Structure 1
Amino acid sequence: MQAACPPSPSADPAVLRFDGRRVLVVGGSSGIGNGVAQAFRAAGADVHVWGTRARAEDYRPDEGSDLSGLGFSQVDVGDAQAIAAWTPPFDTLDVLVLSQGIVEYGRAEFGDATFRRVVEVNLNSVMSCCMHFQPALKAAGGSVVVISSISGYKSSIGNPAYAASKAGAISLTRTLGAAMASDGIRVNGIAPGLVATKLTQATTQHPKRLASTLQRIPLKRVGTPQDIAGVALFLASPLAAYVAGHTIPVDGGLHA
């Protein structure tokens, strides 16, 4: 006998509202994470973000940061004990967005210590956060959105740690999507292409590199944090109620 199916949500824009929902964006103090955090806030959610600086006031708008209306905590995700020690200001969590990430240029990632630090932040902390917040997510029937990168699908000659960690994050998203589904938690991901943030200035502020990259992007433009935020809202909404374990490339067609 076929199992009864829940009613499908309509395409009503109200489905993308998050009024009364609690959202935590790790890495939400700047860049893609900040754009995602502000999109959820605009959709009515109560949003808290993690960053690396001591206070919210230490972030500036000219750096791509807008912490207005957001709760803030300083947490070093490269320290598993710091993640485990953080006490959330909520009992249940509707959406966990994991947007933490670092990259080191100049072949620094070929050094053992740097390689390990990048993997610790970009991959290991994703697992630590998912496990730490699993009870709160289960209580809410929540969802997780892991921000990885299209670098996880290809080689990245100068950044072995970044590419390997993002490939690992994509695989982890797939595995946790299956493992946490029994708790009513949906885990999915987004793999951004070139998005204009502090992390990508080595390309976006280098005319020759930027021109070369734009030639390979079918949509012929650099992405924005808002491009990523729209997909994050979708994945956390009832419109994606039957999506689990998948990572969606959001790259202007580059990976296609």
Structure 2
Amino acid sequence: MPGDLDFSGKTVLVVGGSSGIGNGVAHGFRERGAAVHVWGTRARAEDYAGVEGSDLAGLSYACVDVGDRARIDAAPGIDPLDVLVLCQGTVVYRRGEFEPEGWDRVMAVNLDSLMDCARKFRSVLAARHGVIIIVSSVSGFKSNRGNPAYAASKAGAVSLTKTLGEAWAPEGIRVVGLAPGLVDTKLTKVTTEHPDRLAGALRSIPLGRMGTPQDMAGAALLLASPLAGYVVGQTLIVDGGLSL
């Protein structure tokens, strides 16, 4: 029902909401009445001017590099908070994730920071019977050639969703997950900017197209809404059929 997707009076934080999927999710909530905060890595919101897939109009921005636990701890709190979307992510190409530096950076951002952010906002979310949405990837369910840290971190995110879902449901926090497929963002340029790779990828998607940040926003809105009020610990795969 339309009213179930009305977030007026709600407060949402999208970590990684400065561009890409996270930005689309942030605006999805904003367009439905929520006050939306986003965290990104650049010093000021103005520094995203001209960045593809970034629109910070109507959003409250803060610079927090979640790859550094101390910066998460030092970041200003948000109270009240109804929905926490953990959409941070990075990847290292050219087989850099096989080396310690690349592995550590990807795991810090893609997995460690999920727990750090969830822990930071646990009490305020419990007070509002809030929702945590952990954004992982279809890569969490299969091999990802050349990117061991990315695949492992996303598999960890899926498992963390299950474990926190069970642990924190009695506190009134509903933890759910969202696993995107191929979405046209800066992280997927290695595919989208190469016609042969892109054509091959599209052939493997039954719907015949890439996903969009708006597709992911629709799924996130559903998961955060009362329509999904009995969903706990599950990760919704939103990939146009890619993983079939």
Counterpart AA for 1:28: G
After TM superposition, where is structure 1 displaced by more than 2 Å over at least 4 residues in a row?
Answer: none
Q: Does 1:248 align with 2:226?
A: no
Partner in structure 2 of residue 207 of structure 1:
195
The match for 2:37 is 48
Give the C-alpha shift of residue 113 in structure 1. 1.2
For residue 156 of structure 1, report the CA deviation from its aligned partner: 0.9
Partner of 1:34: 23
Cα deviation for residue 182 of structure 1 reads: 0.8
1:91 Cα offset (Å): 2.0
| Mapped partners of 1:110, 1:48: distance in 2 | 34
1:81 is aligned to 2:74: no
Provide the TM-score with structure 2 as the length reference.
0.99
Q: What is residue 223 of structure 2 aligned with on the other side?
A: 235
Which ranges in structure 1 are unaligned for 5 or more consecutive residues? 1-11
How many corresponding residue pairs? 244
2:184 aligns to what?
196
Deviation at 1:60, TM superposition (A): 2.6
- Alignment partners' CA distance in 2, 1:192 and 1:91: 29
Corresponding letter in the other structure for 1:84: D
- Residues of 2 paired with 1:156 and 1:122: CA distance? 15
Q: Which residue of 2 aligns with 1:115?
A: 103
| Residues 226/240 of structure 1: CA separation in 2 closer, same or farther (3 Å cut) | same
Separation (CA, whole Å) in 1 of partners of 2:200 and 2:42: 34
* Structure 2 counterpart SS, 1:213: helix
Work out whether 1:20 is the aligned partner of 2:9.
yes
Larger radius of gyration: 1
- Amino acid in structure 1 at the alignment position of 2:114: V
The offset of 1:81, in angstroms, is: 1.1
SS in 1 for 2:18: coil
Distance in structure 1 (CA, Å) of the matches to 2:50 and 2:34? 22
RMSD: 0.8
- Post-superposition offset of 1:157: 1.6
Shift of 1:66: 0.4
